[in-house]
């Protein structure tokens, strides 16, 4: 996936699957949002199916940004195209409600997902414990734990240490590979990023600017699985300088993951890379 150059505070990427297409937006939606959306039209017109506006990487939206979404949606609908809005964070939903635009946009399931309460409490408590132990083992000043929702395939932050906005909003939900946690979830394997500025995971993505602004320079993400192999979530720790992850650290983190699985029967190992 290729992201556009920065247009004001927003970037866009167009991703086609068969005849359908998604317009992914990242950053802040304000008066610059409409030109960025209009710029995607030549690529969007190459597909004949449904169009999804993916807001999963939008960290801010004001009334001008909300109006841009509505104008773009109406333009495409007037051409007979089916348009939906997906993965809308709670902060953006509030603006859409305040402007009255929410009733005029088709919001798909998966916007601000709500996980099963019992599963969230049980697995969230487990992930918090893993985060505390990983921070202790690595000496990292920052970290977060994300709960996995199998119904939507989304990771969602349930606890964190050391982060502020817009990092928390940007990574509020993750379902792609443009982050260490997303890659760890999809591969079901730990991911070690020694230097984010030269990492193939982050290069060319809006996520790189977000993690650099948060003073993150290296990251390690550990998928947490149950004994029967079900992914429960991903726990990540972050350092403010590039670093090499030593064999001892990799082994210690591997033992931590194994200890979690051993609490349940039918252990399914998650190998370290």
Cβ within 8 Å of residue 172, ≥6 positions away: 89, 90, 156, 157
Q: For residue 266, tell me if it sits in a domain.
A: no
Per-residue pLDDT reduced to its tens digit, 19-72 = 899 999 999 999 999 999 999 999 999 999 999 999 988 989 999 999 999 999
- Distance from C-alpha of 194 to C-alpha of 209, rounded to nearest angstrom: 17
SS (H, E, C) the chain: CCCCCCECCEEEEEEEECCEEEEEEEEEECCCHHHHHHCCHHHHCCCCCCEEEEEEEEEEECHHHHHHHHHHHHHHHHCCCCEEEECCCHHHHHHHHHHCCHHHCCECCCCCCCCCHHHHHHHHHHHHHHHHHHHHHHCCCEEEEEEEECCCCEEEEEEEECCCCCHHHHCCEECCCCCHHHHHHHHCCCEEECCHHHCCCCCCCHHHHHHHHCCCCEEEEEEEECCCCCEEEEEEEEECCCCCCCHHHHHHHHHHHHHHHCCCCCCCCCCCC
Listed residues 42, 76, 104: the one ending a domain: 104
Specify the higher pLDDT residue, 199 or 228.
Answer: 199
Q: For residue 110, tell me if it sits in a domain.
A: no
Q: For residue 1, tell me if it sits in a domain.
A: no
* 97 lies in the same domain as 149: no
* 92 lies in the same domain as 129: no
Q: Is the pLDDT of residue 168 over 80?
A: yes
61: domain CATH number is: 3.30.750.24
Q: For residue 47, tell me if it sits in a domain.
A: yes
Q: For residue 112, tell me if it sits in a domain.
A: no
* 232 lies in the same domain as 97: no
194: domain CATH number is: 3.30.450.40
Per-residue pLDDT reduced to its tens digit, 195-205 = 999 999 999 99
* 187 lies in the same domain as 225: yes
* 14 lies in the same domain as 94: yes
Domain limits for position 52: 10-104
Q: For residue 111, tell me if it sits in a domain.
A: no
* 26 lies in the same domain as 68: yes
Q: Is 19 exposed, middle or buried (0-12, 13-18, 19+ CB in 10 A)?
A: exposed
Give residue 35's pLDDT.
Answer: 92
Task: Name the domain count of the chain.
Answer: 2
Give residue 120's pLDDT.
Answer: 66
Q: For residue 190, tell me if it sits in a domain.
A: yes
Give the confidence band of 6 by pLDDT, cuts at 50, 70, 90.
Answer: low
Asked if residue 126 lies in contact with residue 147, where contact means CB atoms within 8 angstroms, the answer is no
Listed residues 104, 136, 158: the one ending a domain: 104
* 88 lies in the same domain as 151: no
* 71 lies in the same domain as 140: no
* 126 lies in the same domain as 86: no
Give residue 144's pLDDT.
Answer: 96
* 27 lies in the same domain as 50: yes
* 19 lies in the same domain as 78: yes
Listed residues 104, 137, 160: the one ending a domain: 104
Least confident of 6-10, 142-146, 179-183, 242-246: 6-10
Give residue 116's pLDDT.
Answer: 57
Give residue 93's pLDDT.
Answer: 87
Q: For residue 18, tell me if it sits in a domain.
A: yes
* 257 lies in the same domain as 122: yes
Average pLDDT for residues 87-104, to the nearest whole number? Answer: 86
Average pLDDT for residues 157-166, to the nearest whole number? Answer: 91
Count CB neighbours of 118 within 10 A.
8
């Amino acid at each position: 996936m290729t992201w556009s150059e920065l247009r004001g505070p927003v970037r866009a990427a167009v991703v086609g699957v068969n005849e359908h297409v998604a317009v992914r937006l990242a950053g802040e939606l304000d008066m610059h949002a409409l030109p960025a959306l209009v710029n995607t039209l030549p690529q969007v017109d190459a597909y004949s199916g449904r169009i999804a506006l993916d807001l999963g990487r939008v960290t801010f939206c004001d009334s001008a940004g909300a109006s841009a979404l509505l104008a773009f949606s109406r333009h495409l609908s007037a051409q007979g195209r089916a348009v939906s809005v997906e993965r809308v964070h709670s902060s953006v939903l509030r603006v859409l409600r305040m402007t009255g635009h929410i009733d005029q946009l088709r919001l798909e399931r998966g916007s601000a997902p709500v996980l099963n309460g019992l599963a969230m409490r049980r697995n969230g408590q487990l992930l918090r414990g893993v985060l505390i132990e990983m921070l202790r083992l690595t000496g990292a000043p920052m970290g977060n734990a994300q709960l996995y929702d199998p119904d939507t395939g989304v990771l969602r932050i349930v606890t964190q240490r050391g982060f502020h906005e817009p990092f928390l909003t940007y990574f509020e939900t993750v379902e792609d590979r443009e982050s260490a946690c997303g890659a760890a979830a999809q591969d079901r394997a730990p991911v070690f990023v020694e230097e984010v500025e030269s990492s193939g995971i982050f290069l060319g993505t809006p996520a790189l600017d977000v993690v650099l602004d948060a003073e993150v320079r290296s990251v390690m993400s550990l998928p947490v699985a149950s004994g029967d192999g079900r992914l429960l979530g991903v726990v990540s720790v972050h350092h403010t300088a590039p670093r090499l992850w030593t064999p001892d650290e990799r082994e210690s983190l591997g033992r931590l993951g194994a200890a979690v699985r051993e609490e349940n029967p039918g252990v399914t190992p998650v190998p370290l890379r």
